[in-house]
Amino acid sequence: MNTRCTAWEALLDAYLDGALDGSDEAFFRSHAADCDRCRDLLRLVSADLPALAVEDEAPRLADSVIAVTSGPACGRAEALLVTRPDGGLSADEALLLQAHLEHCPPCSDLARALDVALTTVRELAEPELDLAFTYDVLRATSATRARKRGGALPRLADRLGAWWQGQAARPQFPWEVAFAATVVLVLLFGTPLSPARRAPARALAAVQASPSWMIDTAGELTGVAGAGIGAVQQDVTERRNRTAPDRADFLRHVREAGTALLNGDPGAAAARLRVAGGDLMQLWRDWRGEEPDADD
């Protein structure tokens, strides 16, 4: 149904009376030939039009009766149906729509489908997520935070982190060691700037989850487990003192690398970082009271 159909309908009575003139009649006939709806309408209102009859299908005629009678009402019903969820219908509109739905199976089917669609879409708005999601976000944003604080040091911490990750990925660097080292690094440097930031995620998560548990773990690592928190803390303090020179070396080399980077000398920065990496390994050995590895 378009403006041509409307124009065509306006000529219908005159056509049936045989009162159409040339150009109107030409339009009337050509549109009836093109447009199923208008042709069917014409068939409905005039008994015998052999010149226009193309085919005779009873079902299509029935369809077109529906299209001519209730069709426009369905269009209106659809329009009201989709605005109804927003509560925008007047009381009268709601009443008319309801009455139509009660008598029109296609529209009431559609109304049900719309209900299902909108209810389900609301459910889909917040799908379930796995338990690790929040933690992954916090990890990603805490890395961002360190970067956001700016300066050369965080960026270096990144590179150092990459080095650390490389170390941890070596087969002879087992997860337990990474975990233990992470505990130590967190104790020594705290998390935000810690080169342990990229240490194995589970280790860091465990350490961050519970500081007191970390002290216990440190106690186990240091061999004073079960001796009480005081003993562990004392032991940790001793180890902190023992590794103070290593830490100073490490931080100095990191700072030197930072200066080199700021001076536009990435080569020198990388070299300093490698030295800092060595400091870190030394620090780890001293923390554990080990002799240097023979093969290192």
> Which string of x and - marks every residue 63-102 that binds Zn ion (by CB under 5 A)?
-----------x--x-------------------------
Q: How far is the CB of 138 from Zn ion (least distance, A)?
A: 53
- Options 79, 169, 229, 248; binder of another protein; rule CB under 8 A: 79
- Options 7, 10, 52, 144; binder of another protein; rule CB under 8 A: 144
- Options 13, 34, 115, 238; binder of another protein; rule CB under 8 A: 115
- Residue placing its CB nearer to another protein in the complex, 24 or 78: 78
Number of amino acids touching another protein (CB under 8 A): 39
Q: How far is the CB of 89 from another protein (least distance, A)?
A: 13
Q: Pick from Zn ion, another protein, none: which does 113 bind, CB < 5 to 8 A by kind?
A: another protein
> Which string of x and - marks every residue 145-184 that binds another protein (by CB under 8 A)?
x--x------------------------------------
Q: Pick from another protein, Zn ion, none: which does 30 bind, CB < 5 to 8 A by kind?
A: none
And the tokens for 146? 């360190």
- Options 47, 51, 91, 129; binder of another protein; rule CB under 8 A: 129
Interface residues with another protein (CB under 8 A) are: 78-79, 81-83, 85, 109-110, 112-118, 120-134, 136-138, 140-142, 144-145, 148
